[in-house]
């Protein structure tokens, strides 16, 4: 079990090179470099190497030397940030730690498991990570300060592209732009009452002694938490919808709530533990079902909308703004890829139901109405419009200008950083005793 936990720890804190990754760690923390008033320990290099290997990242060349230079660079940024009076607030540090800890707690199985692994309370663990996270945020802020004024012009983008050898140009995968019109069929009062009655029955069974966890596994429509007996793990109050958080925070330990309604459906909640602005709770969610005639009416309405579009009475974007129940209506129905923040999707990033319909369409065509789920788990009826399709191809300025612009911008920033490092190395004390001074560095100038 603890080997698995150790791997998760390494994965989760992949950017942290502290010395608290494992309480039984036997690495020798000897100083291997000094940058200004900052030191680098051998354990930092060793731990980051383990992190990379845990993720299956072995790379080429001497990985220890690459990690070591990354640490030299980070320390240089921190030293200069302090000279330039660049700071990060305690609030920023706390927020960053909170976000990371919540993800970690969910992965590892709970607060108690985390505390058992480190042999410390959750508050002590957070305190240990504060200086590490503060250093990370400070170095990031300093790097942003260095490159904040770096701009890229169209001529520079073109020059950058032309500088890439033809046989080294990357292949761009097929991608698609998809718009949608989504209707949420009305749920009958009878269905809502039936769901509430069923949930009230489950609540009565819990109050009479049946296991909340077992009933969550058997009946909850929240499949992600149902497999854990309905347990959500520790979450911040701000991350919960208002109705849920209000009900959960009003409970005492092990108390079960009345049936509550949220935008997701109907819930009963059991409080496991409350810590400040965080709770750990279980819930059972039941989502009212859409009646067959309501689905039929929604499909008929979408058919009528499609006919209007095909008759050029309005375009798809106008129809989405006027009729769609989804937030994408504000963007003419255009879906945004949550992985990239752009409107382009690769096949692997498209939901299976949408992908199935998309394959039937040519560019400019609209699908037949079909059932799907929205981001809240509710059943909806939608049509999709294949706005564009780009076949796999060698990257080029005509089809991939934005991507090339991003690459050129990153390259220009890297050159500015390299010049900055060369300048600051000359006026900063750097001492590298031992074997690491034999490394082949990307930034020359560390060894004086």
Taking the C-alpha atoms of residue 401 and residue 154, their distance in angstroms, rounded to an integer, is 10
Taking the C-alpha atoms of residue 205 and residue 193, their distance in angstroms, rounded to an integer, is 18
- pLDDT-flagged residues of the chain (< 70): 1-29, 51, 54-61, 106-107, 376-377
What is the pTM for the complete model shown?
A: 0.62
Taking the C-alpha atoms of residue 57 and residue 77, their distance in angstroms, rounded to an integer, is 26
For 253-275, b/e burial (b = at least 16 CB within 10 A) is eeebbebbebebbbbbbbbbebe
Query: Cβ distance 179 to 334 under 8 Å?
Result: yes
CA distances from 31 to 27, 77, 134 (A): 12, 19, 21
Neighbouring CB atoms inside 10 A of 33's CB total 24
What's the pLDDT score for residue 358? 95
What's the pLDDT score for residue 15? 43
pLDDT digit string, tens, across residues 294-335:
999 999 999 999 999 999 888 999 999 999 999 999 999 999
- Measured in whole angstroms, the distance separating CA 379 from the mean position of its chain's CA atoms is 24
Q: Set out the domains of the chain in order of their start, with CATH numbers.
A: 2-151+411-438 (1.10.4030.10), 175-186+291-394 (3.10.50.40), 189-286 (3.10.50.40)
């Amino acid at each position: 079990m603890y080997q698995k936990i150790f791997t998760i720890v390494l994965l989760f804190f992949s950017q942290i090179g502290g010395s608290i990754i494992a309480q039984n760690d036997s690495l020798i923390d000897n100083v291997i470099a000094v940058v200004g008033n900052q030191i680098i320990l051998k354990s930092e290099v060793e731990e980051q190497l383990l992190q990379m290997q845990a993720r299956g990242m072995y790379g080429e060349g001497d990985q220890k030397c690459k990690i070591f230079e990354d640490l030299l660079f980070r320390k240089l940024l921190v030293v200069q940030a302090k000279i330039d009076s660049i700071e990060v607030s305690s609030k920023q540090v706390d927020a960053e730690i909170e976000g990371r800890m919540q993800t970690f707690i969910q992965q590892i199985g709970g607060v108690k498991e985390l505390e058992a692994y480190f042999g410390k309370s959750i508050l002590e663990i957070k305190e240990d990570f504060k200086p590490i996270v503060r250093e990370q945020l400070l170095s990031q802020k300093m790097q942003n300060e260095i490159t904040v004024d770096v701009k890229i012009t169209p001529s520079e983008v073109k020059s950058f592209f032309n500088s890439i050898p033809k046989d080294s140009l990357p292949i761009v995968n097929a991608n698609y732009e998809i718009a949608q019109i989504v209707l949420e069929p009305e749920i009958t009062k009878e269905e809502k009452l039936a769901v509430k009655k069923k949930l009230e029955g489950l609540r009565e069974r819990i109050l009479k002694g049946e296991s909340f966890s077992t009933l969550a596994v058997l009946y909850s429509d929240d499949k992600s938490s149902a497999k854990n007996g309905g347990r959500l793990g520790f979450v911040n109050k701000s991350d919960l919808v208002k109705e849920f958080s209000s009900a959960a925070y009003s409970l005492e330990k092990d108390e079960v709530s009345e049936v509550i309604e949220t935008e997701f459906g109907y819930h009963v909640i059991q409080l496991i533990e409350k810590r400040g602005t965080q709770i750990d709770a279980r819930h059972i969610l039941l989502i009212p079902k859409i009646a067959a005639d309501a689905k039929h009416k929604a499909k008929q309405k979408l058919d009528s909308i499609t006919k209007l579009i095909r008759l050029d009475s309005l375009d798809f974007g106008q129809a989405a703004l006027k009729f769609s129940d989804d937030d994408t209506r504000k963007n003419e129905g255009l879906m945004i890829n949550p992985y990239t923040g752009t409107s382009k999707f690769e096949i692997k990033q498209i939901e299976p139901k949408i992908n199935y319909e998309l394959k039937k369409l040519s560019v400019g065509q609209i699908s037949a109405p079909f059932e799907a789920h929205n981001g809240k788990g509710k059943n909806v009826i939608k049509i999709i419009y294949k706005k564009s399709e780009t076949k796999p191809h060698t990257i080029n300025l005509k089809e991939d200008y934005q991507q090339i612009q991003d690459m050129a911008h990153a390259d220009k920033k890297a050159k500015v950083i390299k010049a900055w490092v060369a300048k600051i190395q000359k006026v900063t004390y750097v001492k590298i005793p031992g074997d690491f001074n034999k490394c082949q560095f990307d930034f020359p100038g560390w060894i004086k």
